[in-house]
């Protein structure tokens, strides 16, 4: 905790009520937003269940010190993928595991994505998910610390434009991008974003230059204390399964959840009066559905779990932004490695951060990005000169992130390093999340199936060539960029580039689409949730995290995930205000109907209890 601060309000399992109106499973990037919105009116009781801790230390708010995907800290949850045939090794995967989830440990990049991508979601059979439908939800949560017609300053979640470039190489890349005729973009969130260019980034940092996570923005101490009568938070607690009731062959509901403490032997079953919302993330939300008997029937039978609802798409269609790192040696002072190699520099930077809110502790490991549609690059990776080729409907499919360190999965920290992380924004390859056993304590089997679709190689080759052209320009400008063994491709022919892609590849932690939104289908290419984010066949079970994306967006995912949570909260509250006017329920003990007036509600159980709103 912060020095001299009060203990964050939370509950133990034994202190929880027996039932709540809403149970939110997962207090991460999306769950923190939902818990805030559902509890805002004070009309409903809300339980937020988080597997990880609060972990609210001073360092957790310092941008650089909290950017710890690579660490084994309190706020991370690591797992190893299955063996990847196309890479010759498994890949280490990582997600946030604390209140605020991955927004507590990521690089804080705030980017929405292009309007055309959301319009494509809508056109794929998901009404209400086009850009004009989604834009209000981006604006609702956003509090931009600058004046701009494209942004809002009315929300809780702070973001700001990048400061002055922290490392000499960044400025050299800007100049190199101009040399290769890339347009310069000041706002990566502009709806008029072109198909190719060099853009400065926006970051979720607040006015004090602290990390602005969804934990600090949507669940601050004062708010949770104020709502303590109806918003309860329990951490270090796992959801073992959902308690599902079958009303008929095609209609299901969730009574509640089974919980288990990670710090004691205690277990509880908690009832949900209205809804359960899964926000456990794209690796854990499908895992909970599978443990509860909702998923591909063949897989559930193989594991020995009774099939409640055969839903083939659960845990399928896993996508990630696949990355390939090209690295170079630079002077130590030009790399973030200087903080490790020269401790006195770290002390100076710490002082700059504490006094002025500037310096390397703002996590300027990346401040600009280069993006392009591979269709607009020639055989050498150079942008084609014809302006007519740059069309509004052509979307970027590659992103190059200049990083002030080696960005490989196993980075070289023995020297000053600088790298280009080449990212595939629209992968064709799709993986799976499956159960390893029926025991909820056993980890899932995660198979991203990287590069399983050969079409993914072509844009990655184009991206590598463009990054090499940027390198050439930097060297010609006199920047001291030196190749080192294994850091760069041995040639630019397809075979050499493909070998390099396999050797220097990594995850970028942008997992999605394992509970994708779309029509119900008897195949794994179908949907898991409908446009209301209700799991097909259920009337009170929703999912609201990046697992519902029909396919991975070509952008960084935290802002779209928050927008999904905002939209989900609106849909839930709209339903709640309309549903309870008058409704009929069929008891499980007779065929008679019980009609309830607007001032009572019915617990979906054999034992009925009535309670005033």
Give the whole-angstrom CA distance, residue 534 versus residue 579. Answer: 15
Considering only CA atoms, give the Rg of the chain: 24
**Closest C-alpha among 450, 441, 337, 370 to residue 179:** 370
* Whole-Å CA distances, 12 to 9, 32, 222, 271, 567: 10, 18, 19, 16, 30
**102 annotated ligand binder:** yes
Q: Angle at the Cα of 115 (from 114 to 117), degrees rounded to 5?
A: 70
Two tokens at 605?
């159980």
Q: Does residue 151 carry a catalytic annotation?
A: no
**Burial degree of 610 (CB within 10 A; 0-12, 13-18, 19+):** exposed
Give the whole-angstrom CA distance, residue 37 versus residue 563. Answer: 12
Two tokens at 513?
């689409």
CA dihedral 92, 98, 100, 105 (to 10 degrees): -40
**Closest C-alpha among 330, 224, 282 to residue 95:** 282
Give the whole-angstrom CA distance, residue 319 versus residue 429. Answer: 7
Q: Angle at the Cα of 107 (from 103 to 111), degrees rounded to 5?
A: 80
* Cα 273 → chain centroid: 28
Give the whole-angstrom CA distance, residue 234 versus residue 27. Answer: 9
DSSP letters, 5-37, are PPPPP---GGGS-SEEEEEEE--STTHHHHHHH
Two tokens at 246?
């079958």
CA dihedral 92, 96, 97, 99 (to 10 degrees): 180
Contact between 259 and 269 (Cβ < 8 Å)? yes
Two tokens at 420?
């280009």
Give the whole-angstrom CA distance, residue 190 versus residue 74. Answer: 36
Give the whole-angstrom CA distance, residue 548 versus residue 286. Answer: 10
Interior/surface letters 397-435, b for 16+ CB within 10 angstroms, e for the rest: bbbbbbbbbbbbbebbeebbbbbbbbbbbbbebbbbbbb
Give the whole-angstrom CA distance, residue 296 versus residue 518. Answer: 16
Q: Does residue 321 carry a catalytic annotation?
A: no
**358 annotated ligand binder:** no
232, 321, 426, 556: which is the annotated catalytic residue?
556
Q: Angle at the Cα of 76 (from 23 to 35), degrees rounded to 5?
A: 20
DSSP letters, 261-283, are ESSSS-EEEEEEEEEEEE-S-TT
Residues annotated within the binding site for FAD are 102, 239
Residues annotated within the binding site are 102, 239
Catalytic residue numbers read 510, 556
């Amino acid at each position: 905790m912060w020095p001299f601060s009060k203990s964050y309000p939370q509950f133990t399992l034994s202190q929880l009520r027996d039932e709540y109106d809403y149970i939110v499973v997962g207090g991460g990037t999306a769950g923190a937003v939902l818990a805030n919105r559902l509890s805002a009116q004070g009309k409903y009781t809300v339980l937020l269940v988080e597997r990880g801790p609060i972990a609210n230390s001073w360092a957790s708010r310092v941008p650089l010190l909290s950017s710890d995907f690579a660490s084994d800290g309190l706020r991370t949850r690591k797992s190893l993928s299955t063996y990847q045939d196309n890479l010759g090794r498994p890949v280490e995967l990582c997600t946030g595991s604390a209140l605020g989830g991955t927004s507590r440990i990521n690089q804080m990049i705030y980017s929405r994505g292009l309007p055309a991508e959301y319009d494509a979601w809508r056109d794929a059979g998901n009404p209400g998910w086009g850009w004009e439908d989604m834009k209000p939800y981006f604006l609702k949560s956003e509090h931009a610390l600058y004046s701009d017609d494209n942004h809002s300053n009315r929300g809780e979640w702070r973001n700001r434009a990048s400061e002055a470039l922290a490392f000499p190489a960044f400025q050299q890349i800007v100049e190199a991008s101009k040399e290769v005729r890339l347009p310069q973009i000041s706002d990566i969130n502009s709806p008029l974003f072109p198909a190719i260019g060099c853009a400065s980034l926006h970051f979720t940092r607040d006015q004090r230059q602290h990390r602005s996570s969804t934990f600090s923005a949507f669940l601050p101490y004062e708010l949770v204390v104020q709502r303590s009568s109806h918003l309860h938070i329990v951490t270090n607690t796992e959801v073992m399964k959902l308690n599902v009731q079958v009303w008929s062959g095609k209609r299901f509901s969730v009574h509640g959840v089974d919980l288990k403490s990670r710090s004691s032997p205690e277990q509880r079953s908690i009832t949900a009066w209205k809804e359960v919302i899964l926000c456990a993330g794209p690796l854990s939300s499908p895992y909970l559905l599978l443990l509860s008997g909702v998923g591909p029937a063949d897989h559930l039978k193989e594991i020995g779990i009774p099939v409640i609802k055969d839903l083939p798409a659960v845990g399928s269609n896993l996508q990630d932004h696949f990355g390939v790192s090209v690295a170079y040696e630079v002077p130590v002072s030009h790399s973030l490695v200087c903080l490790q190699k020269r401790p006195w520099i770290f002390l100076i930077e710490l002082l700059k951060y504490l006094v002025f809110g500037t310096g390397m502790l703002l996590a300027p490991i990346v401040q600009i990005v280069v993006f392009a549609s591979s269709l607009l690059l020639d055989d050498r990776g150079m942008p084609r000169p014809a302006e007519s080729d740059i069309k509004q409907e052509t979307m970027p499919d590659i992103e190059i992130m200049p990083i002030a360190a080696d960005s490989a999965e196993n980075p070289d920290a023995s020297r000053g390093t600088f790298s280009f992380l080449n990212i595939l924004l629209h992968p064709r390859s799709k993986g799976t999340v499956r159960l390893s056993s029926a025991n909820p304590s056993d980890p899932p089997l995660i198979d991203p199936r990287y590069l399983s679709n050969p079409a993914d190689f072509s844009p990655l080759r184009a991206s590598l060539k463009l990054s090499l052209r940027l390198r050439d320009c930097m060297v010609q400008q006199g920047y001291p960029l030196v190749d080192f063994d294994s850091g760069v491709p041995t040639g630019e022919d397809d075979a050499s580039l493909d070998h390099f892609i396999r050797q220097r590849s990594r995850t970028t932690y942008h997992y999605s689409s394992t509970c994708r939104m779309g029509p119900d289908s008897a195949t794994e290419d179908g949907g898991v949730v409908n446009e209301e984010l209700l799991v097909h066949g259920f009337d009170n079970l929703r999912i609201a995290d990046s697992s519902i994306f029909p396919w991975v967006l070509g952008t960084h995912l935290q802002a779209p995930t928050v927008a999904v949570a905002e939209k989900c909260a609106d849909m839930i509250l709209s339903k709640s205000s309309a549903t309870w006017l008058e409704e009929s329920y069929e008891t499980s003990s007779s065929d008679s109907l019980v009609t309830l007036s607007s001032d009572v509600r019915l617990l979906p159980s054999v034992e009925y209890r009535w309670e005033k709103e």
